Amino acid sequence: MSTTYFDIHSHLNDPRFDPDMDEVLLRMREAEVATIAVGTDKEMSERAIALAEKHPDVWATIGQHPTDTHDEIFDGTWYREKVKQEKVVAIGECGLDYYWPTNPDSRKDFGDVDIEKRRQHELFAEQIALAEETGLPLMIHGRPTPKTMDAYEDILEMLRGRGVKGNVHFFVGDTTIAKQFLDLGFTMSFTGVLTFTHDYDETVRYIPLDMMHAETDAPYVAPVPHRGKRNEPGFVIEVIKAIAQIRGEDEEKVREVLAGNAHQLFGLK
């Protein structure tokens, strides 16, 4: 299936969309946007699959987020069965998140930081193995401790030599980290953050266009001019506009290349 715009990472399967799902999908289609609904645990993975099976312009990932459900044990048998579904196109969102376990407002929920990091590493390792088994790409979540690149550095170390592919979603790394992901063949995606800060402009210019994606991470981080509202897949157009502006490239070219990137990485039909 061809599409004009592609949002490679949304949480359209989030219950916050349930009351007006039909309207959200209508706006998405009017904007000629397709999306991938991302799983973060068993329940949300199941919801992503159900949504994707119902709608031709929605696909699904299945996996377990490093911190969203830190008390859920990874059920490899369950995921190996669900990965057989035709609309499942990636494993994740999975990875390492060192922000919340070290944040003063939330670290009490995680206990000892070293133990939490080991738990996350084991969880991520299981999903890397699943990606190796299935040949599906990883949808990676990485969030470092503030003013460091520590989570990205550990993710890179775990990926080296594993022969897996994938995308680093909501990328906030610098060009040094970006180069290391590129060397492994990983793409990186950017969100609506680009519409209200210039912190990542250098990285957006550095990454080759054919190794980049646009995403919303809806319902989070709505772009300008929708700040303060619930984000939704149709707003990915603003992210693509921002990428084109930052890079000084034709918006139509950026749109076309990014849509092609999504179809290629995730093997969409």
Residue 259: domain span? 5-266
Q: Which residues pair with 6 in a beta bridge?
A: 34
Q: What pLDDT shows up at residue 112? A: 86
Helix, strand, coil: what percent of the chain each, to 5? 50, 15, 35
Task: Locate 54 and state its tokens.
Answer: 């119902």
21: exposed, middle or buried (C-beta count within 10 Å: 0-12, 13-18, 19+)?
A: middle
Closest by CA position to 21, among listed 37, 3, 32: 37
Per DSSP, the three-state class of 10 is strand
pTM: 0.96
Is residue 231 within 8 A of residue 9, CB to CB? The reply is: no
Q: What pLDDT shows up at residue 173? A: 98
The domain tally of the chain equals 1
Closest by CA position to 186, among listed 202, 204, 210: 210
**Phi/psi zone of residue 70: left (φ > 0), alpha (ψ -120 to 50 degrees), beta?**
alpha
Is residue 185 within 8 A of residue 155, CB to CB? The reply is: no
| Alpha carbon distance 30, 16 (integer Å) | 21
pLDDT tens, position by position, for the chain (269 residues)?
Answer: 446 999 999 999 999 999 999 999 999 999 999 999 999 999 999 999 999 999 999 999 999 999 998 789 999 999 999 999 999 999 999 999 999 788 767 777 778 899 999 999 999 999 999 999 999 999 999 999 999 999 999 999 999 999 999 999 999 999 999 999 999 999 999 999 999 999 999 999 999 999 999 999 999 999 999 999 999 999 999 999 999 999 999 999 999 999 999 999 999 97
Q: Which residues pair with 190 in a beta bridge?
A: 214
CATH number where 40 lies: 3.20.20.140
Q: What pLDDT shows up at residue 3? A: 61
DSSP string, 130-150: HHHHH-PPEEEEEEPSTT--H
Is residue 214 within 8 A of residue 195, CB to CB? The reply is: no
Task: Locate 74 and state its tokens.
Answer: 């990874």
Is residue 170 within 8 A of residue 139, CB to CB? The reply is: no
Q: In what order do the strands lie in the sheet with 212-214?
A: 5-10, 33-37, 58-62, 88-97, 138-143, 166-169, 187-190, 212-214
